[in-house]
Structure formats: structure tokens, C-alpha cells
Amino acid sequence: MIKGLLRCVVAIIFILSGFVKAVDLVGFSFKMEEYFEPAVFNMPFFVKFALAFSIIVVVLELLLGLMLLLKLKLKFTLSALIALCIFFGFLTFYSAYYNVVTDCGCFGDAIKFTPWESFVKDIILLTGLIILVLLYRKEFNENIDQSKSNNKSKSLALGIFSGIMIFVMAQGIMNEPLIDFRDYKIGTDLAAEKAKIAKSPSEYKTFYSLKNTKTGEVLKINQDDYINQTKYWEDGSPWKIEEGKNESVLVKQGYKSEISKFKIEDPTGIDLTPQIISAPKAVLVFSYHPKDVSKDLLEKVEAKVNSDKTAVIYGISTMPDTFKTIKNAMMDGTAIKTIARSNPFVLILEEGKIVDKQPAKNYID
């Protein structure tokens, strides 16, 4: 009873984790890209294979999770899941310890974990898997015999499940996720979200790294204590701030929303965001990798949006001259990726509310 319950719980966690990533494979691949960046593992060559790696990881999570749920090839399944868990544990520990990838995307955008929370989750799962190995070790050989008579129904279930997941993953890659877990889902009121962020902002304090030039002692002290205690900055003080070692630390979490990164500027740096989210209608064409977009597609998209004479129209990318017949604006590439996964894509706002969002290739059809 207990081992069956534990097996089901662990299996369902892996299936759910795989499912939310399968829905948004492109989003998960962006997380994988972060691990290949110079600041983390410094393997830029693998960035172009991030989507392929993401597919492999998600397929393993889904299939192995279902196999565990069905008690199919139990010895192999548990061994493979342990290896997968160790791999994830290494990544999350590295992220947490070196503070490099702040969100591993373990449950996509559905559930946000800090790196340390993700690492603890991996350790708990690994412990559960090891316990299952101990509880089921006597049944490994029996499981082989049982699978001969039971294999057809389990294989059928695995096949149906695989077919559904292939459809879900293909939809997310070619278009947009079937289920949108992001803050930018259709129906989101950007103006209202901006107001909530402004009403409840996060608070940070600077912590200085001070070194005593006489004793060599080093200490961390927050900005308030530094100002209030004159011994740290008065004339003749042996305490000196170590340049480059100061830290900004979150002391109060405000209203959390990715909408805080929604800031659109013209090529000269003027903030266009208030104008755009207050307009009766705004049609925005986004591209996070403008160099990868064909000129023919851009021409067709621009022609289509220009036909709407009632809307404020902007082309927004990471470069100031991407668009030829509509006004250019700029936005951080990572922030653009957060809004939608297609490159390019079209976002339509009405008084700051998202009413439509689709890949540009679908928009022009």
C-alpha cells in the first residue's frame, strides 16, 4: 500500500513536470540556453541544440514517469529516473550555489521555484526513488514475468499517451503553447498589472563589502548601518569599501509579475510603454531574433498591420532598424521571449488588455 502510493506520487510528479514543459517546449529551451551561456557552463556551441536537448529531457520525464506509474520495466525505469534526477540535481545545485540561472523551469511557467527550492525538490525525489528501489527490489524479476502477459495493455496506454504528447509538443513548437501559463496570456490587462507593481514594489538594500586596512578583516554591512555608524566612513577610518563586491539584496518581495519587464522604447531611449498600453488599440510586431526572420515574412506582416488604420502600430525587436514600413521600437530580448515563443509574433492590445497573440505566419494567413 505505502510503496504503491509512493510510486504513484513520484510518477505523477515526473509526468506533471514533463507535461508543463512539453506544453511550452520552446520556453524550456530558452532555459536550457541559459545553461550554455558563458556565465554558466560556457558552451555556446550547444545553444543551437537547446530545443533538441529540451525534447529529449521532456520525453524522458514523460515516458519514464508513465512507465513507473504502470510498473513497466520497473528496474530499468527506476534506474533511469535516478540518473535523470541526479542530472537535474546537479543543474539546480549549480544554479543555486553560483546564482546563475534563477529559474530552472522545472515546472515551466506553471509553478515557479527558486534554485534552492528546485534542488531540495530533486533531493526529495531522489530519496523517494532510492526508497522505491529498496521496496521493489524483490519484484524486479517478477515484474519481467508479469510484463509478458500484461505488456499489450501497458504498451497501448504508453502509445496513446505518446501520441497525445507528440501533438502537444508539436503545437507548442510550431505555434504557441496549447495552455498558456505565462503572465502574458490572452485577457491579461497590462495597465492593471503595471498599477499593481507600482503599488507594491519590491525593496532592495545594498550590502557593502568593507575591508579593514589595518587588520585585514572583511565584513558585510547593509547601507543603513553603514550610514548610521560613522566609524565606517569618517576621516581616518581604516574601513574601505571593496569595489565590485557590493550586493543588492531583496529585503521585501513586492507584487511579482513578468509584466514589470514590459518596457518599450524608441531607438533614442524614450519610453513608449504608457502611450501603447493606454491606446484604444495597439498592434505590436515582436521579434527576439530579427536576423533569423525572412525579409519576405516581415514585408507581409508589415503590409497586414499597416492595413489597420485605427491602431497604434510598432515593430519591436532588439535592433533599431528591423522594420522598414512601420515604426521601430526596442525591448530586451529575454523580455520579448517571455511574451510569446514565435519569432516574429503579433500582439494586439485594446486599452492595455491582451486580446490576441499569435505567430506572424498565422496572422498573415
Q: What is the tens place of the pLDDT at every residue in 81-110?
A: 999 999 888 888 887 887 776 666 666 666
pLDDT digits (tens, 9 = 90+) for 30-74: 888 888 877 777 777 788 888 899 999 999 999 999 999 988 888
pLDDT digits (tens, 9 = 90+) for 189-207: 999 999 999 899 888 888 8
Give the per-residue pLDDT at 112.
Answer: 74
- Beta strand 312-317 with 282-287 is parallel
Q: For 118-122, what is the mean pLDDT?
A: 88
| pTM of the entire predicted model | 0.76
pLDDT digits (tens, 9 = 90+) for 140-168: 765 554 545 567 788 888 889 999 999 99
Q: For 301-311, what is the mean pLDDT?
A: 92
Q: How far apart are CA 121 and CA 106, in angstroms?
A: 10
**With pLDDT > 90 as the criterion, what percentage of the chain qualifies?**
42
Largest CA distance in the chain: 86
Q: How far apart are CA 270 and CA 264, in angstroms?
A: 8
Q: Are 316 and 338 in contact (CB under 8 A)?
A: no
Give the per-residue pLDDT at 145.
Answer: 47
Give the per-residue pLDDT at 148.
Answer: 56
Q: How far apart are CA 81 and CA 251, in angstroms?
A: 38
Q: What residues contact residue 302 under an 8 Å CB cut-off, 6+ apart?
A: 285, 315, 323, 324, 325, 326
Query: Can you name the residues that pair with 349 across neighbouring β-strands?
Result: 282, 354
pLDDT at 236 over 90: no
Q: How far apart are CA 231 and CA 217, in angstroms?
A: 14
Q: What is the mean pLDDT of the chain?
A: 87
Give the per-residue pLDDT at 27.
Answer: 86
